[in-house]
Amino acid sequence: MNLLSVVVPFYNEGEALFELHKQLTGCLDALQVPYEIILVDDGSTDSSLEIARGFCKGQNIKIISFSRNFGQQSAISAGLKHVQGDAVVIMDADLQDPPELIEKFLDSFNMGYDVVYGIRTKRKENIFKRLTYKIYYRLLRATATLPLPVDSGDFCLISRKAADILNALPERNRYIRGLRAWLGFSQLGIAYERKKRCQGETKYTLKKMLRIAFDGIVAFSRTPYQFFAISGSLISLLSVLIGFGMLLSGVTSVIAWALIGLLFLNGLQCLGLGLIGESVWHITQEAKGRPDYIIRETLGFNDDSSH
Ligand code: UDP
Ligand code: MG
202 CA closest ligand 1 atom index: 20
Mean pLDDT, residues 243-268: 96
How many CB atoms are located within 10 Å of the residue 27 CB?
17
d(CA 38, CA 269): 50
pLDDT value at residue 123: 76
Closest C-alpha to ligand 1, atom 9 = 10
The ligand minimizing its distance to the Cα of 52 is: 1
d(CA 97, CA 93): 8
The ligand minimizing its distance to the Cα of 96 is: 2
At residue 59, does pLDDT exceed 80? no
Average pLDDT of the chain is 95
Ligand 2 centroid, distance to 89 Cα (angstroms):
16
pLDDT value at residue 305: 73
Ligand 1 centroid, distance to 97 Cα (angstroms):
11
8 CA closest ligand 1 atom index: 15
pLDDT value at residue 129: 84
Query: DSSP letters of 108-140?
Result: HHHTT-SEEEEEEEEE-S-HHHHHHHHHHHHHH
d(CA 81, CA 163): 8
Alpha helices in the chain (DSSP H): 16-31, 48-55, 72-82, 101-110, 127-143, 160-168, 176-183, 206-220, 223-248, 254-288
pLDDT value at residue 125: 77
pLDDT value at residue 204: 92
Ligand 1 centroid, distance to 220 Cα (angstroms):
22
Q: Collect contacts of 146-150 with beta carbons under 8 A, ≥24 apart.
A: 146/181, 146/182, 146/220, 147/181, 148/177, 148/178, 148/181, 148/220, 149/117, 149/119, 149/181, 149/187, 149/189, 150/119
Sign of the C-alpha dihedral, residues 92, 108, 163, 122?
negative
Q: Hey, which of 6, 7, 11, 209 would you mutate to test ligand 1's pocket, going by the most ligand atoms within 8 Å of its Cβ?
A: 11
Ligand 1 centroid, distance to 279 Cα (angstroms):
34
| CA angle, 282 then 150 then 177, to 5° | 55
pLDDT value at residue 128: 86
d(CA 107, CA 103): 6
Mean pLDDT, residues 184-199: 94
70 CA closest ligand 1 atom index: 8
Residues within a 6 A CB radius of ligand 1: 9-11, 13, 42, 69, 71-72, 75, 92-94, 96, 197, 202-204
The ligand minimizing its distance to the Cα of 209 is: 1
Residues 8, 93: contact at Cβ < 8 Å?
yes
The residue among 116, 89, 67, 71 whose CA lies nearest residue 8 is 89
Report the interhelical angle of 206-220 vs 72-82 (nearest 10°): 60
> In this structure, are strands 187-194 and 87-90 parallel, antiparallel, or unpaired?
unpaired
d(CA 51, CA 171): 32
11 CA closest ligand 1 atom index: 11
Mean pLDDT, residues 271-278: 97
pLDDT value at residue 307: 65
Ligand 2 centroid, distance to 142 Cα (angstroms):
25
At residue 225, does pLDDT exceed 90? yes
pLDDT band for position 126 (cuts 50, 70, 90): confident
Q: Give Cα separations from 221 to 127, 217, 224 (angstroms).
A: 26, 5, 7
pLDDT value at residue 58: 74
- CA dihedral defined by 7, 13, 15, 16, rounded to 10 degrees? -50
pLDDT band for position 304 (cuts 50, 70, 90): confident
d(CA 60, CA 133): 35
Q: Hey, which of 203, 206, 209 would you mutate to test ligand 1's pocket, going by the most ligand atoms within 8 Å of its Cβ?
A: 203
At 78-124, the pLDDT tens digits run 999 999 999 999 999 999 999 999 999 999 999 999 999 999 998 77
3-state class of 51 per DSSP?
helix
3-state class of 198 per DSSP?
coil
